[in-house]
């Protein structure tokens, strides 16, 4: 499946073309596809990639709409700001899914990530109170 302008509009509760043009939405889809293609793991499925493109393109389209609205009104309505935060969170989550090899792998920490996060010395743990030396 390829994400279309209609898919993005539908995802955004049928966002009218008067708010954001088809050309602008298509540019957001192209950008989202570029980002996802460069971020995805080899283990991410085609369906997961498409969903990531859809959510990311929708988020970018909503940001474009919000920017236009703010220019015309001089302020961003609080409901729209809240909606953008929700979309941003969704975009981050689906990107994490495709980066980590799909939804089934998301949240799992690889051995190399675990090793990179370990402290250099036991004293770091003692000072932080995570390990007691009685």
Write down the domain spans for the chain. 5-106
Query: What 3-state DSSP class applies to 1?
Result: coil
Q: Which is more confident, 102 or 29?
A: 29
* Predicted pLDDT at 122: 42
Burial class (CB in 10 A: 0-12, 13-18, 19+), 64: middle
Distances (CA, A) of 82 to 20, 62, 76: 19, 12, 10
Examine the pLDDT at 115 and tell me if it is beyond 80.
no
Q: Average pLDDT, stretch 50-79?
A: 93
The listed range with the strongest mean pLDDT (87-91, 108-112, 123-127) is 87-91
Examine the pLDDT at 99 and tell me if it is beyond 70.
yes
- Residue for token pair 């990179």: 116
């Amino acid at each position: 499946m390829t994400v279309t302008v209609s898919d993005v509009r539908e995802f955004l509760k049928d966002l009218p073309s008067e708010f954001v043009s088809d050309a602008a939405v298509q540019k957001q889809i192209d950008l989202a596809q570029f980002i996802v293609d460069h971020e995805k793991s080899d283990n991410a499925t085609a369906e997961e990639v498409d969903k990531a493109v859809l959510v990311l393109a929708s988020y970018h389209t909503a940001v474009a709409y919000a920017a236009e609205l703010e220019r015309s009104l001089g302020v961003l309505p609080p409901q729209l700001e809240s909606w953008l935060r929700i979309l941003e969170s969704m975009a981050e989550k689906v990107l994490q899914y495709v980066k980590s090899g799909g939804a089934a792998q998301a949240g799992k920490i690889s051995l190399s990530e675990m090793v990179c996060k370990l402290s250099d010395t036991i004293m770091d743990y003692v000072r932080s109170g995570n390990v007691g030396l009685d």
